[in-house]
Structure 1
C-alpha cells in the first residue's frame, strides 16, 4: 500500500513539472526569430553584441586591428581569383584607434600588376630612365586621366621618361571592371592593395615608393604629382639637368605651418599622429621631385614610422628623420596661374587644373607662333 502511495505521488509531481515547463517555453520560445533549443537558466543574462553605426563617414583607412590587414578572412572572398573578378563590396573600414600606430600595421604591400606595361614605363629597372612621373589619381577620375594621356603624358614615349598613374582598390564592382578595361587598353595604372580614399593618401604615396623600389630602382629622378596638376615636362627635364644633388627633394616648400586640430578641417591631424606645434618643412603633395637614391630608404623607413594621414606631412617627418635635404624650387607652383603661353613655359607644375583646361594649357605651351623672351 505504501509503495502505491509513493508511486502515485511521483506521477503527480512529474505532471506538475511538465505543465510548468510548457508554460515557461511559451515565453522564451525564440530570440531574433530563431527557436531556442537549449535550456535557459534563471538569473542568466545573454549579452547580444550591437553593431553600432560607423562614424567613419567614408574613411577607408586600412589594416591594424581595425583595418584592411585584419580583414584577411573577409578578403579571401573579395580579391580577384582565377576566372573571377571579385572585389570588396562592403562598406568602409573603421577609423584608426586614438593612439599612435606604426604604418607597417596598416600598409598592405603589393600591387595588381597584371595589366601594367612595366617594360614601357620602366624597362631594365630604370637603368636608362632619367625621370619617372607617378600621378596619383582617384578611381572615378577617368576624364582627368584621359586629358593627361592626350597632352603632357605624351612625353612618356621618350626612352628616358616613364609615366604612370597610381591608384588603390575600389569597393565598387562595376568601377573595378571599368578600371580593368582601362588598364588593359593603356597599361599605365599602378594599383595598390589599400582602399582608395582621401584618408589613405599616405598609403598611396607609400605604394608608389614600394612600386618604384621594386620595379624601377635604378631611375635617377621620380616626380610625384596629382591628376589635377599640369606638368611642363621639358622644363622639368631642364631643371634635372641643372641639378646634380643626391639625397634631395625639390618642390614648393612650406615652413612653420601649424597643425589643424579641429576635426572640421580637411587637414585635421590629431595629437596622437603628430604631437608637435609646428610641422617640419614639407613639399606640398601636388608635385615634388625626389632623387632616386632615397626611394628605398623612404619606403623602408615609412613602415617603421607612426602613421600620419596627411601624406606631405608624413613624408616631411621621414625626410627630417633620414636627414634628407629639402629644397624650395620656385618653378613648382601649388596654385593656379594665368594661362599665358610665356608664363606656362616657365613653370614646372600648375595645380588645381580642370580636365578641359589641360588641353588649353597644352596648346599654349606647344604654340610655336608665340615667342617668349
Structure 2
C-alpha cells in the first residue's frame, strides 16, 4: 500500500487524489484507515483546482460500503457538482494568528433564525478568553429566496462580522454542502485553528466545560469527539432521512458523530478536506462526515456530556453538560444566567 501511494504522489498535479478504494481495518476502540498513511500524507491541493471526485469502497471491519459516484450524480447532482462560492465572509480579524490557541465555534444557522443568533451572541457564543484558548464564533449559512431574510443577514454581517454564507440554497440535503464548504474554508483560510466545535443554533453549549474537556481528552490530533452513533440503521421510509437502496444498499451506516454538536481538532481538518475532495457527497451531513472520517484515518471518542437529543433542565446538570440540543432562544437567555450563578460543587 505504501509503495503504491508513493508512486501516486509522484504523479503530476492531481495524482494524489485519484483514489477509488480506501481500506479500513477496525478493532475495539481503534480504527486504522489507509487512504494514506499519516506519516506520509500527500500534499493538500492549492485553492481553485478541480475536484477529483470518484466512486469509493470503504471497509470498517464489519461492513463494506460502496459509494457509486454515478448513482450520487443521478439522485443528488448538485451535491456533487457545486463549487463552494462565498456570498458573505467574516471580518479579517478572525484570519490573523493570535498569541492564544483558537477554539472556533462554528454554528449552523438559517437566514430566518436571527433571534437564535442574537441569543447566542448574548450567551455562549460571545468571544472570551478561557485559559490558553481564545474562543470565537462563526455562523454558517446558505441563502433563501426570501428577500427580508437575506437583508437581515446582510445587516448582521455588517454589524457583527460573524457570518460565513455560501450562495447555495438552504435545505436539509444541502447541509452536506455546508460541511464540505466549511472544511474547504477552514483548510484554506484558517490553518492556525486549534479546535473547531460544530453545532446548531438551537442549543446550550458550555465553553468553559469544553475547554476543560479539551485539556483532558484532546492529546490526539486525529480523534473526533462527540455523541458517537454506532452503525445506525438506514431509514428507507422517513421522508427527511430517507435514502434509496440504489444510492446506498447497506442496511447500516458507518460510525459517525451526531450533528447536534461535536469537536474537531485542527490537525484533522486537512485529512477531512482531502477526503471531501474525493468521495461522493452523501445527502445526510452527519453520515457524510462519518464517511470522510473513515476515509481520512480518524478515530472517535464518545462523550456522553454531548446531549444531542436534549436534557431535562436543571442548572447543575447543564453546568456539567458540554452541549444540550433543542433549546430555544428565549429559554437559552434565561437559563444561561441561572447556570452561571448556580453553585453545583459535587452535583451530578
Q: TM-score range by the shorter chain?
A: 0.7 to 0.9
What is the correspondence of 1:70-149 to structure 2 with a 5 Å cutoff? 98-99=74-75, 103=79, 105-113=80-88, 116-119=90-93, 121-124=94-97, 128-149=100-121
Residue 202 of structure 2 corresponds to 228
Q: How many residues align?
A: 272
Cα distance, 1:99 vs. partner? 4.9
Q: Does 1:201 align with 2:175?
A: yes
- Aligned residue for 2:185? 211
Q: Distance in 1 between matches of 2:147 and 2:274?
A: 32
> 1:359 aligns to what?
333
The answer to whether 1:171 aligns with 2:155 is: no
Secondary structure at the counterpart of residue 307 of structure 2: coil
Shift of 1:102: 9.2
Measure how far apart 1:215 and its partner are: 1.8
Match of 2:10 in 1: none
Could you list the runs of 5+ residues in structure 2 that have no partner in the other structure?
1-71
Using the alignment, how far apart are the partners of 2:188 and 2:100 within structure 1? 16
What secondary structure sits across from 2:308 in the alignment? coil
**1:372 is the counterpart of 2:345:** yes
Out of 292, 296, 302, which is 1:322 matched to?
296
Match of 2:311 among 337, 343, 351: 337
1:287 to 261, 280, 286: 261
TM-score w.r.t. length of structure 2? 0.73
Q: 1:187 to 1:327 in 2, by over 3 A?
A: same
CA contact (8 A) 2:307 2:323 kept: yes
**Cα pair 1:252 1:330 within 8 Å, conserved:** yes
Deviations 1:29-54 (A, max 9, x none): xxxxxxxxxxxxxxxxxxxxxxxxxx
Task: Measure, in 2, the Cα distance between the counterparts of 1:202 and 1:260.
Answer: 17
Q: Which has the larger radius of gyration?
A: 1
Match of 1:253 among 222, 228, 241: 228
How far apart are the structure 2 equivalents of 1:127 and 1:215?
18
CA 1:150–1:99 in structure 2 vs 1: closer, same or farther (change >3 Å)? Answer: closer
Q: Considering only aligned residues, what root-mean-square deviation do their CA atoms show, in Å?
A: 2.1
CA deviations over 1:296-338 (Å, ceiling 9, x no partner):
2212321321121110001111111222101101111112212
- Does structure 2 conserve the Cα–Cα contact (< 8 Å) formed by 1:194 and 1:204? no
Q: Is the 8 A contact 2:126 2:137 kept in 1?
A: no
Q: Is 1:311 the counterpart of 2:285 in the alignment?
A: yes
Contact 1:273 1:307 in 2 (8 A): no
Compute the displacement of 1:122 (Å). Answer: 4.3
Residues 43-79 of structure 1: CA deviation (Å, up to 9, x unaligned): xxxxxxxxxxxxxxxxxxxxxxxxxxxxxxxxxxxxx
The structure with more strand, counted as a fraction of residues: 2
CA distance in 2, matches of 1:222, 1:102: 27
SS at 1:338 equivalent: coil
Distance 1:290 1:141, change over 3 A: same
Q: Secondary structure at the match of 1:279?
A: coil
Runs of 4+ in 1 over 3 A off after TM superposition: 96-103, 155-159
- Aligned in 2, Cα 1:107/1:326: closer, same or farther, shift over 3 Å? farther
Q: Paired residue for 1:271?
A: 245
